[in-house]
Amino acid sequence: MTEALFEDTRHPTGAPFVADESTTLRSFLDFYRATLLRQVAGLDHEQLNRPVPPSTMTLAGILKHMAHVEDVWFGMRLAGNAMAAPFDTAPWDDDEDWDFNSAAADDPDTLRTLLREAIARSNDLTDAAGSLDQIAAGRSRTGDPIGLRWILVHMIEEYARHCGHADLMREAIDGKKDL
């Protein structure tokens, strides 16, 4: 699935109309991952860091945030790994939105690579889990067990929300829409 992630799968989403549950969920997740990467393609540092009022959110911030979210849900929660760099040394206690706020200092290609690498690790961990019924090593904030199926659905929701933000932001930045 990783190779298909970077192909243009806009029409349709790339999810087969008839498939097993794992293929369906992973295809939709890959579609949204690719959509976000497509939304930021070709933008320079200034454009990636341009907020669209009244929000202070930027496309650079979304890229770094989603790399962090990938590592939290697949690396930490699913597999029980330690937080990956650069998030492992971030001053989260001083800035709970560090992923969004620190992105302004990052090179655009570095941010894109950070997300692509996080996605690749997530796909490897999902492959290793073997089953949607796999119970994650980590727990929810309330101590409840979490299944891989739930993580995949949550990640689809997370990407869909931020892809909506990215659609509007990209159009405001350079007029491009329906990327």
Q: What's the pTM?
A: 0.91
Structure confidence by residue, pLDDT tens digits, 6-47: 454 444 567 778 889 999 999 999 999 999 999 999 999 999
Write out the chain in H/E/C secondary structure: CCHHHHCCCCCCCCCCCCCCHHHHHHHHHHHHHHHHHHHHCCCCHHHHCCCCCCCCCCHHHHHHHHHHHHHHHHHHHHCCCCCCCCHHHCCCCCCCCHHHHHHHHCCHHHHHHHHHHHHHHHHHHHHHHCCCCCEEEEECCCCCEEEHHHHHHHHHHHHHHHHHHHHHHHHHHHCCCCC
Per domain, the residue ranges of the chain are 20-174
Structure confidence by residue, pLDDT tens digits, 49-104: 999 999 999 999 999 999 999 999 999 999 999 999 999 999 999 999 999 999 99
Structure confidence by residue, pLDDT tens digits, 130-147: 899 999 999 999 999 999
In CATH, which superfamily holds the domain spanning 20-174? Answer: dinb family like domain (1.20.120.450)
